Amino acid sequence: MSSTKSNIHLELSERIILLRIFDNVFILFGLILVGEIFQFDYFLISSTNWYWVFVLLLYYNVFATVLEMYNLQKVAKSDQIIQNVLVVASLTTLFFLLTPYYTPVLPDNRMQLIYFYLAVTMSLMSWRYCYVFFVSSPRFYKTILLVGTASEVELMVKTITNDALTFVITGAVITDNSELKDVKVTIIPFDKLFQTVGEQKVSEVIVASNSKVEFPEQIVDVLIRLLEKGVPIKEYTHVYEDLTNRVPVQYVGKDFYKYFPFSRSNQNRLYLFFSRLLDILLSFIGLIGLLICFPVIIIGNLIGNRGPLFYVQERVGKNGEYFKIIKLRSMVVDAEKQGAVWAQQNDPRITLFGNFLRKSRLDEMPQFINVLKGEMSMIGPRPERPVFVRDLSKVIPFYEVRHMIKPGVTGWAQVSTEYGASEEDSLKKLQYDLYYIKHRSAFMDINIIFKTLSTILFYRGR
């Protein structure tokens, strides 16, 4: 193997941390620079005037998170930088100026406020363009090599191509006699594996281990030699989870217990107590918001919905127990007189006002009553109807595992994928639900709340 060092690459989590750190650094640097040049006292940092820095950065990080400034698929697009920075910088500056109790007293010279806004905006814009043209460039991509059967390699290539924007597949070693059909990738012979890793500066080898097909002994020997040389070797299911934030159910078989080391939070009494406390608090706030919107909802229902305002439907909850879910009606009356049917995109049964209710997520708000009753939680898998659960349990393995926790008003699957309307979509949703159950934590719950706010603000309800 060549002694040449491998390419520098940044993991997805490292890229997000890098973005956050330099966002904050550039904002402060820009303000200090402008303050020093123009001798402004409004953003002066002194022993008696320093805490405003934390207030400013708090506002920025909250708005930047909600408005998806750390969505790596979006931040890599240079054409969106100006729009995103302007919106976030405007909101940050506005809230900063509207809370003078926690921020410096407004200056007599109002021009300082304009310079304040411009300093925040231009600093962020400069750094974000630097990120796109330098950090997001191919020189920081991770070069990987795949090892597995032809079918496994095809699955790995498709997943990595769809979900990993910063990976370059240099080749694949096929461990059986099959041929690749749907993907194109350079095939590496067994005896060239060790040499290729060195010549191509491979950063990581990803292996798909199939319990039905044993690796040839010569490949195992090479993999051991690579490991001894310090080359990271990862199992594909772990990489799949890291890339997609889903549990690869298609790999779960008789060794299912290896894939479901469920989060301790599921049994942690302190976590469950604060989770329930948050459920009650947010439900009361949500119901107050529903009451405020009620006049508009009633008028909209009379004009564009015509019929009962609410509807009640049986759903499957924790431990498979049934309960009655409460929602604002968004479909025509007797929408399922022919029987239960999956809701489709642009479903003709959805009324004009019902479409608005779904897009804004207002139709979900009566479920806060279910949360207060303890039948649901704010965060968890989406509760499905018994007829769909019975059908899906027959064709999707481990489907009913999602019922080991309370269903939620929102959840990891809801904020990570589009509305499911088929068995294939349900499989994808299940993978997200199992990922949440496996990694459930207070931090992940906060992340879901932020993503839910983004969904509502960007009008992405289904």
Is residue 307's pLDDT more than 80?
yes
Q: What pLDDT score was predicted for residue 243? A: 81
Q: Which residues contact 326 (CB under 8 A, 6 or more apart)?
A: 310, 311, 312, 366, 367, 369, 370
Greater pLDDT, 376 or 251: 376
Is residue 117's pLDDT more than 90?
yes
Per-residue pLDDT band for 288 (boundaries 50, 70, 90) equals: very high
Q: In angstroms, rounded to a whole number, what is the distance separating the alpha carbons of residues 406 and 319?
A: 8
User: Taking residues 179-199, what's their average pLDDT?
Assistant: 89
Is residue 215's pLDDT more than 60?
yes
Q: What pLDDT score was predicted for residue 453? A: 84
Per-residue pLDDT band for 286 (boundaries 50, 70, 90) equals: very high
DSSP labels, 91-143: HHHHHHHT-TTTSPPPPSSTHHHHHHHHHHHHHHHHHHHHIIIIITSGGGPEE
Give the whole-number percent of the chain exceeding pLDDT 90.
Answer: 40
Is residue 203's pLDDT more than 70?
yes
Q: What pLDDT score was predicted for residue 213? A: 61
Q: What pLDDT score was predicted for residue 5? A: 47
Report the amino acid identity of residue 392. Answer: L
3-state DSSP call for residue 49? strand
Is residue 140's pLDDT more than 90?
no
Q: What pLDDT score was predicted for residue 136? A: 78
Q: Which of 34-38, 320-324, 458-462 has the lowest mean pLDDT?
A: 458-462
Per-residue pLDDT band for 257 (boundaries 50, 70, 90) equals: low
Per-residue pLDDT band for 348 (boundaries 50, 70, 90) equals: confident
Per-residue pLDDT band for 389 (boundaries 50, 70, 90) equals: very high
The long-range contacts involving 38-43, CB below 8 angstroms and separated by at least 24 positions, are 38/115, 40/107, 40/112, 40/115, 41/107, 41/112, 42/104, 42/106, 42/107, 42/112, 42/113, 42/116, 43/104, 43/112, 43/116, 43/119
State the chain's mean pLDDT as an integer: 86
Is residue 91's pLDDT more than 90?
yes
Is residue 258's pLDDT more than 70?
no
Burial of 268 (0-12, 13-18, 19+ CB in 10 A): middle
Greater pLDDT, 459 or 138: 138
Per-residue pLDDT band for 127 (boundaries 50, 70, 90) equals: very high
Q: What pLDDT score was predicted for residue 6? A: 47
Question: All domains of the chain, ordered by start, with CATH?
Answer: 12-135 (no CATH), 141-244 (3.40.50.10700), 264-457 (no CATH)
Q: What pLDDT score was predicted for residue 342? A: 66
Is residue 427's pLDDT more than 60?
yes
